[in-house]
């Protein structure tokens, strides 16, 4: 999922729309999703994939999702491990 929204749009509304999209995808039979972000671009408001995915996992039952990009640094790897445990889902 490429979470692109106009910079002037309410951020809470953006996040809720993105989460609803993930729920819809699961209801249509999709079992995997990827969330991309570019923190320096104002129209991609997700600054932390791990935080966003935590919310997504609370709304889905069978969806496997993962952050896209460079997740081999020690800190992101630890966060990914925590997210894996809390979500009970492969990351």
Q: What's residue 13's pLDDT?
A: 92
Q: What's residue 51's pLDDT?
A: 81
Contacts of 53 (CB under 8 A, 6+ apart): 35, 65, 66, 67, 83, 87, 91
Element of type H or E holding 26: helix 11-27
**Region 14-25: what's the mean pLDDT?**
91
pLDDT digits 0-9 by tens, 72-89:
455 566 776 777 677 665
Q: Where are the domains of the chain?
A: 11-87
pLDDT digits 0-9 by tens, 29-87:
988 877 776 666 777 777 777 788 888 888 888 766 555 555 545 556 677 677 767 76
Element of type H or E holding 55: helix 49-59
Q: State the pTM of this model.
A: 0.72
């Amino acid at each position: 999922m490429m979470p692109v929204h106009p910079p002037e749009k309410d951020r809470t509304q953006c996040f809720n729309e993105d989460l609803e999209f993930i729920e819809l995808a699961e209801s249509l039979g999709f079992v995997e999703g990827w969330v991309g972000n570019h923190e320096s671009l104002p129209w991609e408001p997700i600054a932390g994939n791990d935080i966003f995915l935590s919310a997504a996992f609370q709304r889905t039952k069978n969806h496997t999702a993962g952050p896209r990009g460079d997740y081999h640094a020690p800190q992101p790897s630890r966060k990914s491990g925590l997210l894996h445990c809390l979500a009970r889902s492969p990351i």
